[in-house]
Structure 1
């Protein structure tokens, strides 16, 4: 379906608007290291059964807050009020989506959950607003050149997302308002490119590699070869293009376990299907990413995990719309490059330090806003000797 004539439906996304404003959803290595230190402490008897979603979600939140605000949340080591509010907003949004009568705002905000949602919104907005005000004050007092110079001399030596937005101007030289910046920052913390989707994807990648030790070993050998004699074990920007098999494994996991299982789009014109039937203008369509990725006419043996589906030769024989984990068209995920790079770093460092083995209990898929596992997704984790 043409994305240009089927923009995002606003019923569900409207629930998020009080938090996200009109951000793009609507209109890394240090944090991995922290997670691995926690894992090693838990492996007191040589191995441990760990729930992936819980651990990885905190890591991706930690990474996002650093990239967005240049702020160390330390949420993997101690509670963070801001991170707790983000998690509560996600949980409440999922809960509301299953209660049809609460789709009406005037009813929802009279419930206990609605009041909790508003309170969490206020907390998240207050945090973001405070960061924006302080950065704008610095930019105003220092000027652009001094502001940029101070950033290059800082610990991170780079601009974060808020800095980029503060310096951005449109073709007429107009700056973004504080409300615009807040909307984009809050969207990045939650939206299609956020911590939850990346955490889901990473969890299922590690699960699939645990179930296929031959592919896990091939990925490990590729990473070892890349980082041979390098101390400390750090993944650099140029390394990300040098991990072709690991990338194939990530993509096959995205096919088999896409973090977002479907899309909602409202048709802005009549759409004629190949068999002649017509979807009338104004209808809302549910486009199943999961269904497309498991279509046996496109993907033979669709339940089989086979990374070689994504070797360059095989990829050229398929329609680009047969694989849409980040959606497609002009409304696709703005964070897909960020997410892919974060996942490559996280998977590579994890395989360098741990052997992953499947749990005794096979997880059952549980689609919510993102694809989770019913009762959690547990893996047996064993530290590798000599791992950093």
Structure 2
């Protein structure tokens, strides 16, 4: 029983929200609907993040100068500590790594597209999408529109998300976690997870691509490869400050 009156304080977790959710008629979710929500949460919480991490590492291996900048930033933050474990307060200081994460998700689109069902007639320029229409938002194409990202949209450029430039990106031009009331419920967790995992990896290893292997994308529900992603991993000695 989660409703323990003896508790002096409590918090609302994901299952609490699902179990207590009610619509305008006071109707709650069925057991199947709750299970579907949990399945979605677990899927989005590991498969998409794993794809993002793989592609970000790919771009860092392809751009060693960016990888080295990330490693320098990480070494500076962890300097003088007995372990390479991040503190919660460290996450906001990984500025360049965050830029690389955002650019990696733009360039590679771990979730290439999303679908939405139109709940009322929707006007789009000179056309009307009637209620019940299923609309596909192609995030991959949005991330590579030349008029938004420029002619070098296929290049990995973390500075697109620098403090000086990020305000120039309009809200719906960059939606790796979707947007609006049905955006990804775990986007903050996913970003922090990526920071922690990449920090651990880059603190201890340097990655470089296998020049004999060409990576080819396979666009599906989650961005994958057709033929694998081969890298060489070298143990590194963190710089001591």
Q: Which TM bucket (shorter chain)?
A: 0.7 to 0.9
Q: 2:238 matched to 1:383?
A: no
Q: What SS does structure 1 have at the residue aligned with 2:231?
A: strand
Q: How does 1:79-228 map to 2 (within 5 A)?
A: 136=1, 145=7, 165=16, 179=31, 182-190=35-43, 193-228=44-79
2:142 equivalent in structure 1 = 292
Indicate conservation of the 8 Å contact 2:56/2:100, yes or no. yes
With over 3 angstroms needed to count, the CA separation of the structure-2 counterparts of 1:196 and 1:285, relative to structure 1, is same
Aligned partner of 2:202 among 338, 351, 356 = 351
Alpha carbons 1:165, 1:181 under 8 Å: kept: no
Aligned-partner Cα distance in 2 for 1:281–1:177: 24
5+ long unaligned stretches in structure 1:
1-135, 149-158
Could you tell me how far 1:316 is from its partner in structure 2? 1.2
Is the CA contact 2:208–2:231 (under 8 Å) kept in the aligned structure 1? Answer: yes
TM-score, with length taken from structure 2: 0.85
1: CA distance, partners of 2:141 / 2:67:
27
Alpha-carbon contact 1:363-1:376 (below 8 Å) kept: yes
Change (3 A) 1:168 1:286: closer
How many matched pairs? 232
In the TM superposition, what are the counterparts of 1:333-372 in structure 2 within 5 Å?
333-360=184-211, 361-372=213-224
The 2-side partners of 1:287 and 1:382 are apart by 39
**C-alpha displacement at 1:334, in angstroms?**
0.3
Tell me whether 1:302 sits opposite 2:153 in the alignment.
yes
Q: Distance in 1 between matches of 2:111 and 2:82?
A: 37
1:330 and 1:147 map into 2 onto residues whose CA distance is 29
- Rounded to whole Å, the distance in 1 between the matches of 2:35 and 2:116 is 25
Q: Is 1:281 aligned to residue 131 of structure 2? A: yes
DSSP-derived class of the 2:227 partner: coil
CA contact (8 A) 1:209 1:216 kept: yes
Asked if 1 retains the 8 angstrom alpha-carbon contact of 2:21 and 2:29, the reply is: no
Out of 166, 171, 174, the position equivalent to 1:323 is: 174
Give yes or no for the alignment of 1:234 onto 2:96: no
Q: Distance in 1 between matches of 2:139 and 2:207?
A: 28
Structure 1 contact 269–282 (Cα < 8 Å) conserved: yes
Note if contact 2:18-2:29 (Cα within 8 Å) is conserved in structure 1. no
The whole-number CA distance in structure 2 between the counterparts of 1:289 and 1:208 is 19
Q: Displacement, 1:283?
A: 2.0
| Structure with the larger helix share | 1
Cα distance in 1 for partners of 2:29, 2:134 equals 32
> Taking structure 1 as the reference length, what is the TM-score of the superposition?
0.54
Judge conservation of contact 1:161–1:185 (CA < 8 Å) in 2.
no
CA deviations 1:198-225 (Å, max 9, x no partner) are 0000000100000000000000111111
Question: Cα deviation per residue 1:7-48 (whole Å; 9 max; x = unaligned)?
Answer: xxxxxxxxxxxxxxxxxxxxxxxxxxxxxxxxxxxxxxxxxx
